[in-house]
Amino acid sequence: MAPPLAAERILSALRGEGLTVVEVGAWRTRNRNHKGPWGPSHGVMIHHTVTSGTAQTVQICRDGYTGLPGPLCHGVIAKSGTVHLVGNGRANHAGLGDPDVLRAVIAETRLPNDDEASVDGNRHFYGFECENRGDGRDPWPDVQLEAIERASAALCRAHGWGAGSVLGHKEWQPGKPDPLGFAMDDMRARVADRLPGLPGPVPLPEPQHPVVDLSLLVAAARTDPGRKGTPVSYPGVRIVEAALIDEGLLAKRYGDGHFGLATLTAYTLWQERLGYRGRRPGQPADGTPGMTSLTALGKKHAFVIAA
């Protein structure tokens, strides 16, 4: 699980990436956490504001408007490239989105088309609203695009994520156009260049309904923990790890396709969530996938099981 960054870590990450940052009022405690959970964190979402004028834009993003209370993001990126921090915690920016997109962000694979709106994005994504009218004609100054790149990279770097953890609102929620005026693939490439050694998006799409072979998964669970540093024995482990990350049971940095101790522990927690325990009183579940527990995980996260 990736806990959200504390306010001071967000501030230091942004400034450490060379950004000019303005702290707007009591941004550290301004949030919508009373409306639902905040975290685990899985990525950075980019928006345009459909406004003009920095002062007005910052005020709207901080306070919201009738029917949509603020904060509407965590930071506002002005045309000047300055980042104005307006919130810390749950914010009204992402709305409901596609679970397949969330899984792809977690796995840092190429994003599928967003055709469903059923997952709470306000819980999982940092949001940057970028000052732009969003009409396709309002320009994006180079300094603003560089600030978007730097802000995205700053939070990815702080979490140990790659550029595949950056997405646009239009890639998350069906019908949304933002950001309009630059390509998110280009922005992810810029972020990747700024994050040497951290992965960019995998170029090939995942299948619509991935298949996990239970026997191969069990073999990986039984052999990988004792073989730290060896090559991945079964690529299907990544599918299961992405589901465990989405459940908040596994830290994103351990989603490497290796069924090591962290994944074994996370799967144990999944089994116990389903009510399983060890054979003796007080003994935990063993963490070895079985048909019932894996089917339950696959049903929830859209992968199918081969026995």
Rounded to the nearest 10 degrees, the angle between the axes of helix 142-159 and helix 7-16 is 130
Domain containing 246 equals 211-306
Confidence of residue 175 (pLDDT cuts 50, 70, 90): very high
- Whether 278 is covered by a domain: the verdict is yes
Is residue 117 pLDDT above 50, yes or no? yes
Mean local confidence (pLDDT), 79-89: 98
What is the total count of domains within the chain?
A: 2
**Do 63 and 13 share a domain, yes or no?**
yes
Residues 124 and 43 occupy one common structural domain: yes
Q: Give the pairing of strands 119-120 and 96-97.
A: antiparallel
Mean pLDDT in residue range 58-64: 97
Report the CATH number at residue 178.
3.40.80.10
Same domain assignment for residues 189 and 47: yes
Beta strands in the chain (DSSP E): 21-23, 43-48, 64-65, 68-69, 75-77, 83-85, 96-97, 119-120, 125-130, 166-168, 211-213, 304-306
d(CA 276, CA 163): 37
Cα–Cα distance for residue pair 282/143, rounded to 1 Å:
59
Number of Cβ atoms within 10 Å of the Cβ of 144: 20
| Separation between Cα atoms, residue 290 and residue 216, nearest integer Å | 12
Residue 205 lies in a domain: no
* Integer CA distances (angstroms), 128 to 65, 143, 156, 213, 251, in order: 17, 15, 13, 39, 24
pLDDT band at 197 (very low <50, low <70, confident <90, very high): low
Distance CA 14, CA 150 (A): 8
Mean pLDDT value of segment 176-198: 92
Closest CA to 93 of 136, 46, 135, 28: 46
Please give the mean pLDDT across all residues of the chain. 91
pLDDT tens figures, 133-163: 999 999 999 999 999 999 999 999 999 999 9
Q: How many secondary structure helices (H) and strands (E) does the chain include?
A: 10, 12
As a whole number, mean pLDDT of residues 202-218 equals 70
- pTM of this prediction? 0.70
126 in the same domain as 48:
yes
Are residue 48 and residue 133 in the same domain, yes or no? Answer: yes
